[in-house]
Amino acid sequence: MREIALILHFVGLAMGLGTSFAFMFLGIASARMEADEARKFRLNTLALSKMGHIGLTLLLVSGTYLMTPYWSSLSSMPMLTAKLILVLLLIGLIGLVSIATNKAKKGDADAQFKKIEPLGKLSLITTLIIVMLAVYTFH
């Protein structure tokens, strides 16, 4: 069962981190477009966020299972504790991005994209730090 959970965890990681990288590169591409064209393009790319949500769900479900042997020793594992705190931060960031995404779809997309962009960058950095902490914790 652990192997299945690890596979789901890595698939979720690929989906979640892949979404962040995809948005980064699509943002670079849209920066070279005219304003109206860029707005339409960015609104269409918001569909990718579903992939990120599915990835995060896979990570949370499989990660909760994979953490089972570590809950009792969590207080003696500061890097794992930091990783879990950053996961909570990431969930909050993704929640804020989701709220802004829904508002962008309903109107005032330019203002919402100004909120989404820094949150997306912070989410990407947070995810990369989570991966690094996981590697150092479980090597």
Q: In angstroms, what CA-CA distances link 24 with 9, 29, 81, 126?
A: 23, 9, 28, 14
pLDDT tens digits, one per residue of 56-66: 999 999 999 99
pLDDT tens digits, one per residue of 21-80: 999 999 999 999 999 999 999 999 998 999 999 999 999 999 999 999 999 999 999 999
Q: What is the mean pLDDT of residues 90-117?
A: 93
Burial of 71 (0-12, 13-18, 19+ CB in 10 A): exposed
Residue 97 has pLDDT above 90, yes or no: yes
Per domain, the residue ranges of the chain are 2-138
CA atoms of 35 and 22, how far apart (whole Å): 20
What's the whole-model pTM score? 0.90
| DSSP track, 56-93 | HHHHHHHHHHHTGGGGGGGGG-HHHHHHHHHHHHHHHH
